[in-house]
A and B are shown apart, each in its own frame.
Chain A
Amino acid sequence: MSRSEVLVDADWVEAHSGDPGVVLVEVDEDTSAYDKGHIPGAIKLDWKKDLQDPVRRDFVDRVGFETLLSERGISNDDTVVLYGGNNNWFAAYAYWYFKLYGHQSVKLLDGGRKKWELDSRELTTDVPQRPRTSYRAAEQDPSIRAMRDEVIASIGKRNLVDVRSPDEFAGRLLAPAHLPQEQAQRGGHIPTARNVPWSKAANEDGTFRSDDELRRIYGEEAGLDFSKDTIAYCRIGERSAHTWFVLHELLGQPNVKNYDGSWTEYGSLVGVPIELGDAR
């Protein structure tokens, strides 16, 4: 997988967002951002209302995903270009989610909504109407999603990458610093996990760092053994989807999984080992 296959820049979006077979999708936790103004031609997906099961803590099932994409007018052979706020956390999460259900052509807008805004590019409140499709999804691809038992079995054996902030990793905070301190029952991290905050992969404007920089950050600096399989986690799986994208899609590492249960699940499990303190 090369960078040009999975990333597009703002100039590309301005030139191609109206092309047949290209669907621009904004994914934000906060859908009011889309309603206030979005990139012309973009539709929206709500990471929670649209992509999560309303009752169980899990994703919508395959049929639910088919129904969603059919309603939104996305076809199997469309190129889906995702972007969003938060340095593309939720767009990367949606990218991973589309891949989980087997969508072939998915790309991220490098820098997402932030760079678009900082560049003062056009935003609109016009909502496009797309004709309904008959989308068919594949069964979930278990090779890119880790569940808790696999994570526990991976302690000391695989690369575990905790992409939260150092304070969350150490157990001093249970949530990012712009949210109240609540969530999992316990603070800390999974034993043997390396702390490589997601933000190390991004420039200030939200774009991804170069491949050479990323290899240095995850390899030489963080000490990840690229010959081993890797599981990334954060608090609920968005920030770690960003890191999954870096390792699996940009750097082409095979066998990288995102643990979307992440710390809100692991830190509430009974009987599992937890480590406290800063990264060594």
Chain B
Amino acid sequence: MSAGNPAAAAAGDGCGAPAGGAAVAAATDPGGQAIVEGRVVRGGTPVSAGYARLLGTGDEFVAEVPLGEDGGFRFFAAPGTWTLRVLAPGGARASRSVAAERGKITKVEVSV
């Protein structure tokens, strides 16, 4: 488990979600993982109520996390190109393409 990774640490051995609500502290060492992380903003302000989804080829669902207090999210992906999709209240939706590389932290900021 990577250091500085409260979301994943809180997830324990579950199938599921990392902790919602807490700020997602920036990872400092990818440790051989292909990490995609970032935050969601609206008019420069973090969006804390919402969800980030990682989608594969053909928009096949891969993973989803609730946004942190700071609008943050993090995925441990396989290397490759993914679609990052954000859902926020009020019908706000945004999608963008992201590339994940092993041993690298790919940073993304998404506006809704």
Instruction: Give A residues with C-beta under 8 Å from B.
Output: 28-30, 32-33, 36, 47-48, 85-87, 89-90, 114, 117-120, 165-167, 172-173, 175-183, 197, 199-200, 204-205, 234-239, 264
Is A47 a contact of B14 with CB atoms below 8 Å?
yes
Is B16 a contact of A197 with CB atoms below 8 Å?
no
- Supposing A32-B21, A165-B62, A235-B15 touch, asked if A180 and B89 sit within 8 A by C-beta, the answer is no
Tell me the complex Cα distance, A114–B65, Å.
10
The total number of A-B Cβ pairs within 8 Å is 127
B46 located at the interface, meaning its Cβ lies under 8 Å from any Cβ of chain A in the complex: no
B49 located at the interface, meaning its Cβ lies under 8 Å from any Cβ of chain A in the complex: yes
Contact with A along B1-13 (1 / 0, CB 8 A): 1100101101111
Instruction: Give B residues with C-beta under 8 Å from A.
Output: 1-2, 5, 7-8, 10-22, 33, 49-51, 53-54, 56, 60-66, 74-78, 85, 87-90
Is B88 a contact of A118 with CB atoms below 8 Å?
yes
* Smallest Cβ-Cβ distance to A87: which chain B residue: B64
Nearest CB in chain A: distance from B14 CB, A:
5
- Secondary structure of the A side of the interface? loop
Tell me the complex Cα distance, A109–B68, Å.
23
Is B15 a contact of A114 with CB atoms below 8 Å?
no
| In-complex Cβ contact of B63 among A33, A166, A176, A205 (8 A) | A176
8 tightest CB-CB pairs across the interface, nearest first?
Answer: A199-B61, A177-B63, A238-B15, A178-B63, A86-B16, A33-B20, A86-B17, A29-B14
| In-complex Cβ contact of B78 among A114, A117, A177, A199 (8 A) | A177
Tell me the complex Cα distance, A33–B7, Å.
12
